Amino acid sequence: MNSLNFHTIPWSARIGMVMIVIMVFLGIAGPWIAPYTNAELVGDVWEPMFGNFLLGTDNLGRDMLSRLLYGARITLFIAFVATLISFTMGAVLGFFAAVQKGWLDQVLSRGNDTLMALPTLIFALVVLSVLPANLFTLIMVMAVLDSTRVYRIGRAIAVDIEALDFIEMARLRGEKKSWIILHEILPNALTPLIAEFGLRFSFAILFLSSLSFLGLGVQPPAADWGALVKENKDGIAFGISASLVPATAIAILTISVNLVADWLLSKTSDLKGGEG
């Protein structure tokens, strides 16, 4: 396999990488570079952009730039942690089901199909309306729901790899199933899983924004980008663009992640074609 050369990366993926780095930097450094605190009232309601404040003010007179920077950290943190947990759960169970086979594979797969058959947003709204409204509950609900998709993909990849000759050789050597999963299946499944991680991360951002827009995501006074859209949505009727600022940030981040994920998926397809 040829080493990765930056010059071979398409411009779309490069742009996506640059925007992701910028977003991550803003998420990490946001509270230090924000001109005001998250909940500080600094002006009148819905002041225009490029006036006294670069991005204007929100529905309570708080600086939109500061709210956006604080919201970047919350949005990225929740989406990343939820995606990481979902991939850990889904991939481990999917790999184990593919290697174990038999009744355990059937139980896990049928249970996974049952969860996937439920409308994701409605199921999340029901669960979050019953359980305590805190960050841990929100992350775990997102992770469990998304792990069903990861399970299906992980199991499908593992089934293909498990049928290859070097897996049979490992069994003949007497290797344990856990060793086969960690040392044989996981390294060969890593590239498509990384690409899928980007896609699921984009979904997590949109899903979190949807929950916050409906009032069951991040609770005030903290706010992710979806909550910022909700807080300022009434201003659209008066020509106020405050809600468009966080909505644009959500769009830029999800598009950037998808650009990189699409490139990784194309790399995976090229590798499969080369092996064929």
Give the C-alpha separation, 35 to 67, whole Å. Answer: 10
Of 203, 235, 1, which is closest to residue 120 (Cα–Cα)?
A: 203
Kindly report, residue by residue over 37-72, the tens digit of the pLDDT: 988 899 888 988 888 889 989 989 999 999 999 999
Q: Is residue 2 pLDDT above 50, yes or no?
A: no
CA dihedral 133, 139, 140, 145 (to 10 degrees): 110
The pTM is what?
Answer: 0.86
Kindly report, residue by residue over 113-152, the tens digit of the pLDDT: 998 888 888 889 888 888 887 889 999 999 999 999 999 9
Burial 151-168 (b: 16+ CB within 10 A, else e): bbbbbebbbebbeeeebe
Cβ-based neighbour number of residue 200 at 10 Å: 26
What tokens appear for 35 in the block?
A: 């001109």
Cβ-based neighbour number of residue 270 at 10 Å: 10
Task: Count Cβ atoms within 10 A of the Cβ of residue 117 and give its class: 0-12 exposed, 13-18 middle, 19 or more buried.
Answer: exposed
Give the C-alpha separation, 111 to 94, whole Å. Answer: 12
Q: What is the pLDDT of residue 276?
A: 44
Map out the domains of the chain as residue ranges. 16-275
- DSSP code for 41: B
The contacts of residue 96 (CB under 8 Å, 6+ apart) are 104, 108, 177, 181
The contacts of residue 35 (CB under 8 Å, 6+ apart) are 63, 65, 66
Kindly report, residue by residue over 158-204, the tens digit of the pLDDT: 888 887 788 778 887 877 878 888 888 888 888 788 888 888 999 99
Task: Give me the CATH topology for the region 16-275.
Answer: MetI-like fold (1.10.3720)
Kindly report, residue by residue over 90-121, the tens digit of the pLDDT: 999 999 898 888 888 899 999 999 988 888 88
